[in-house]
């Protein structure tokens, strides 16, 4: 399970950075109406368009691409259940796996940004 935690954390961080563009901080502060008139993003990564064209609520953006700790809940579903299958034991252990993954991502975020 330790290897799966680190693999899952790397996938989450990779997708998080792949959804960035250089001026995304300015873009995230705008309302949905103002985002339509936003200039073309600079310094685009491969999945920059996921963040730029997102039209869902900000509540759902967090577990998809904007919050590394929140992404643990959404981006761990497939790797965990592909590895352990869907049975009673794995369903009971899954919330603890998500908390461990969120904690690992929080620790990595602290190391990356401090």
DSSP 8-state assignment for residue 19: T
**Domain tally, the chain:** 1
84: containing domain: 2-113
> How confident is the model at residue 65, as a pLDDT?
87
* Greater model confidence, 78 or 28: 78
- Look over the chain and give the mean of its residue pLDDT values, rounded to a whole number: 86
> How confident is the model at residue 109, as a pLDDT?
85
pLDDT in tens, 8-56: 999 999 999 898 887 767 777 777 677 767 767 777 888 888 877 877 7
> How confident is the model at residue 79, as a pLDDT?
94
> How confident is the model at residue 76, as a pLDDT?
95
Categorise residue 45: left if φ over 0, alpha if ψ from -120 to 50, beta otherwise: beta
This prediction has a pTM of 0.79
pLDDT in tens, 4-14: 999 999 999 99
User: Which residues neighbour 8 within 8 Å (Cβ) at sequence distance 6 or greater?
Assistant: 72, 75, 76, 79, 80, 101
State the Cα–Cα distance between residues 51 and 20, nearest whole angstrom. 7
């Amino acid at each position: 399970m330790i290897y799966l935690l680190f693999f899952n954390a790397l996938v989450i961080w990779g997708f998080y950075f792949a959804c960035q563009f250089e001026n995304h901080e300015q873009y995230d502060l705008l309302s949905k109406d103002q985002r339509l008139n936003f200039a073309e993003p600079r310094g685009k990564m491969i999945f920059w368009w996921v963040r730029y064209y997102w039209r869902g609520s900000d509540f759902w953006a967090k577990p998809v691409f904007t919050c590394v700790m929140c992404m643990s809940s959404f981006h761990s579903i497939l790797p965990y259940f592909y590895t352990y299958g869907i049975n009673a034991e794995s369903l009971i252990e899954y919330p603890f796996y998500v908390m461990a993954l969120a904690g690992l991502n929080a620790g990595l975020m602290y190391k990356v940004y401090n």
